[in-house]
């Protein structure tokens, strides 16, 4: 039994002893795709704070960083941390739609969130690394310009996929109880 599972057994005995095994019960708590989004968000949170601290230090030392690093810091924070976190929690917590998405207990078609994750995060990383090259004055060339545009397109595609999943899961009850709208 791993360290975390032991800790879980001590902290939350009701949760871990209800299921067939400790690991099965733990993995049932948050689906894999949501954990992927949320843990990625936490990595971005640390990166955002680290870059923020560097920017602050440079300003305090009288050598403010190029403005474009502030923009990348903002994107790491808002897209990397906030958007990934919101998607991870929403895919997990929004009402299930078992008729439309039978594959994974009503959550989503199996591959959809993984596509969204790859498109969104590949696009974000491409932007964060490519954009500073364009802030220096001489444009770095056509190929890089195409890749920068592509970084935006990838992120839009990733968000459309997740938007479509959550659109269908934002719905009223199929068989509402009396008095429920
Ligand atoms: C998730 C948390 C955070 C988010 C979403 C966030 C977001 C932003 C945004 C949108 C900007 C404006 C970027 C621009 O247009 O120039 C900014 C600037 C800045 N942030 Fe943060 N921030 C976060 C955390 C922090 C932390 C923890 C620090 C310091 C330790 C920090 C330090 C700074 C500094 C120094 C700037 C000015 C950068 C410049 O333009 O020179 N931020 N932040």
Q: Tens digits of per-residue pLDDT, 9-25? A: 554 444 444 444 444 44
Alpha-carbon gap, residue 86 to 135, rounded angstroms: 30
Task: Select the highest-mean-pLDDT range: 3-7, 67-71, 177-181.
Answer: 67-71
- Ligand 1 centre and the CA of 40: distance in Å? 19
The residue with greater pLDDT, 171 or 132, is 132
Q: Does the C-beta of 44 come closer than 6 Å to ligand 1?
A: no
Q: Can you give the pLDDT at residue 173? A: 78
CA atoms within 13 A on the CB side of 107: 19
Q: Does the C-beta of 7 come closer than 6 Å to ligand 1?
A: no
- State yes or no: pLDDT of 92 exceeds 60: yes
Q: Does the C-beta of 74 come closer than 6 Å to ligand 1?
A: yes
Atom of ligand 1 nearest to the CA of 45: 1
Residue nearest to atom 27 of ligand 1 (CA): 49
Q: At a CB cut-off of 8 Å and minimum separation 6, what does 36 contact?
A: 88, 113, 114, 117
pLDDT of 127-162, one tens digit each?
A: 999 999 998 777 788 999 999 999 999 999 999 999
Q: The tokens of 127 are what?
A: 């932007």
Q: Can you give the pLDDT at residue 16? A: 44
- Ligand 1 centre and the CA of 74: distance in Å? 6
Alpha-carbon gap, residue 31 to 126, rounded angstroms: 27
The confidence band for 172, taking pLDDT boundaries of 50, 70 and 90, is: confident
The residue with greater pLDDT, 107 or 21, is 107
- Ligand 1 centre and the CA of 118: distance in Å? 25
Q: At a CB cut-off of 8 Å and minimum separation 6, what does 33 contact?
A: 88, 91, 107, 108, 113, 114, 117
- State yes or no: pLDDT of 26 exceeds 50: no
Mean pLDDT of 25-37: 80
């Amino acid at each position: 039994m791993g360290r975390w599972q032991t800790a879980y057994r001590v902290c939350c005995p009701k949760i871990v002893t209800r299921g067939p095994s400790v690991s099965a019960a733990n993995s049932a708590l948050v689906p894999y795709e949501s954990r992927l989004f949320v843990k990625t968000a936490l990595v971005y949170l640390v990166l955002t704070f680290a870059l923020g601290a560097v920017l602050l230090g440079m300003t305090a030392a009288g050598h403010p960083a190029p403005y474009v690093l502030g923009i990348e810091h903002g994107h790491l924070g808002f897209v990397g941390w906030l958007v990934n976190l919101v998607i991870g929690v929403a895919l997990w917590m929004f009402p299930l739609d078992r008729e439309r998405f039978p594959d994974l207990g009503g959550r989503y078609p199996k591959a959809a969130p993984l596509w969204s994750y790859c498109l969104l995060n590949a696009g974000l990383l491409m932007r964060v690394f490519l954009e500073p090259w364009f802030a220096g004055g001489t444009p770095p060339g056509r190929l890089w310009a195409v890749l920068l545009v592509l970084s935006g397109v990838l992120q839009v595609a990733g968000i459309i996929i997740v938007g479509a999943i959550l659109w269908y899961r934002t719905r009223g009850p199929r068989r509402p109880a009396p008095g429920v709208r």
